[in-house]
Amino acid sequence: MKRKLLFGERMLLGDGTEPFNAVIPFRLRGTFKEEDIQYALNQLQGKHPWLRAVIHHDEQNIPWFEVPERNLPIPIRTVSRNGEDHWQKESEREWQTLFQYGERPLIRFVWIKGEEVSDMLFAFHHCLCDGGSAMAFLYEFLKILDNPSAEIGVEHPILGIQDVVPSEILTNRKQKLKAKLIGRLAATAIKCIPVGKKAVERKNDYLIHWKFDKALSQELISYCKSMEVTVNTFLSAAVLQAFKKIRGESAFNKVSCPVDIRRFAKQIKEDHIFAFGLMIVVSANHKMSFSENLRLMQESVERKTSKLNPYITMMVMESAHDALKNFTKLLKHGKSSNDCMFSNLGRIQIPHQYKEFTLDTIFSPSVIGPLGNTTTMVTSTFRGEMDFSFVGSEGYLPYAEALAIRDEVIQTVKLQLDHIAVL
């Protein structure tokens, strides 16, 4: 089984010399055996063919996912647990570790082993899948780790654009022409945009982590409902305000927010191993109050989201493979134009109580790669607590400023909730 990488996947893969890795850490209370962990990982590979895949290049240097006849197990690295924050150090190590994708799978596992508590990490190349896919196989892994005979089904993998874009759109002459025309215009425009000779020096990467307790998390959710805005919009507004206050004129007033393609393309199932994403950009009007801004931003988010068309977007990108090199150069060498990417995975619907162990927490994923500004904030909610991972690089956002932005986001949330409580 094999398939060509799509445009977005090739962009994330790069030339193989720089990692673009995502990490999902989680904490379990219980005792475990390595053979049981390996068995659960093997079962995951049995369901999902692309978790067994390597990447090979053909004679035109086009990369292909290819499932080898001989099964290549997901490697496990075991280290002794050294404190509550040890998982952060191992996350940062996994960001920097290249995948030997021609010889091994694009996923690996880290067991931070303790006597009664273990932290575990799934690390995977971002060209393999997104956070939604990763949460699906995390759920399946825990299910099998608890009960080796549990059924998790078999994935019918996506084998190309034809498995995502309906045939009546994909073969429509008008749509094909439209996609090709937009692709050519974009490719030409990208060539004309001036870029520097050198990419920005990233310097040291870092991870900042924090949580909101159940009470604060629930207050925030209730406040957003009363304001008729999403938690995502509220937190985006808080992030924009924090960047403006801390960075002043250096702030761009732009946050990129991923939108799950599964909302629009129902052909992509929750458990599909797939990496393609959609994006909108959110900005604030700093002349307005925070609460006034929320409603305007929510209207903007809904308007932009309604215009997203995953099918045409994919067709445009697939018509522009010859522009990949120029597009990647633009991302790497062009000036940053947004403050950060902000991603809200929402409520993670994975059980926490199992027969053999307890899933104490799932830390929000982190991801870092070489395509421009690395500043990324990811939040998720598990067992009623909002969890935040804030990733950055000194060359784009100094660590001290990132800490100040975190504090400002937390203060903004609390001030808004205190204000509503007083009213």
- Boundaries of every domain in the chain: 2-146, 203-307+335-422
Predicted confidence at residue 336, as pLDDT, reads 84
Torsion angle defined by CA atoms of residues 13, 265, 138 and 371, in that order, rounded to the nearest 10 degrees = 30
Q: Cα torsion for 132, 137, 142, 143, to the nearest 10°?
A: 110
164 secondary structure, DSSP code: T
Considering only CA atoms, which of 134, 160, 163, 170 is closest in space to residue 65?
Answer: 160
pLDDT at 306 (0 to 100): 94
Q: What is the dihedral of CA 34, 40, 42, 48, to 10 degrees?
A: -150
How many whole angstroms separate alpha carbon 124 and alpha carbon 78?
Answer: 17
CATH no., domain 2-146: 3.30.559.10
Sign of CA dihedral 87, 270, 374, 281: negative
Q: Confirm if 383 and 224 have CB atoms less than 8 A apart.
A: no
pLDDT digits over 293-335, tens only? 999 999 999 999 999 999 999 999 999 898 898 889 888 887 8
Give the three-class secondary structure for 38.
helix
CB 135 within 8 A of CB 274: no
CA contacts within 13 A on the Cβ side of 189: 7
pLDDT at 82: 97
Dihedrals phi, psi of 411, to nearest 5 degrees:
-65, -40
Q: What does 283-309 look like in DSSP terms, one character per residue?
A: ---TTS-HHHHHHHHHHHHHHHHHT--
**How high is the pLDDT of residue 287?**
87
Which strand (E) or helix (H) includes residue 109? strand 107-113
- Which homologous superfamily is 203-307+335-422 in? Nonribosomal peptide synthetase, condensation domain (3.30.559.30)
Both tokens assigned to 136: 């699906």
Same fold, 2-146 and 203-307+335-422: yes
Q: Which two tokens stand for residue 55?
A: 């990447």
Tens digit of pLDDT at every position of the chain (423 positions): 999 999 999 999 998 899 999 999 999 999 999 999 999 999 999 999 999 999 999 999 999 999 999 889 999 999 999 999 999 999 999 999 999 999 999 999 999 999 999 999 999 999 999 998 999 999 999 999 999 999 999 999 999 999 999 999 999 999 999 999 998 888 888 887 877 778 788 999 999 999 999 999 999 999 999 999 999 999 999 999 999 999 999 999 999 999 988 888 888 998 999 998 899 999 999 889 998 999 999 999 999 999 999 999 999 999 989 889 888 988 888 788 899 999 999 999 999 999 999 999 999 999 999 999 999 999 999 999 999 999 999 999 999 999 999 999 999 999 999 866 544
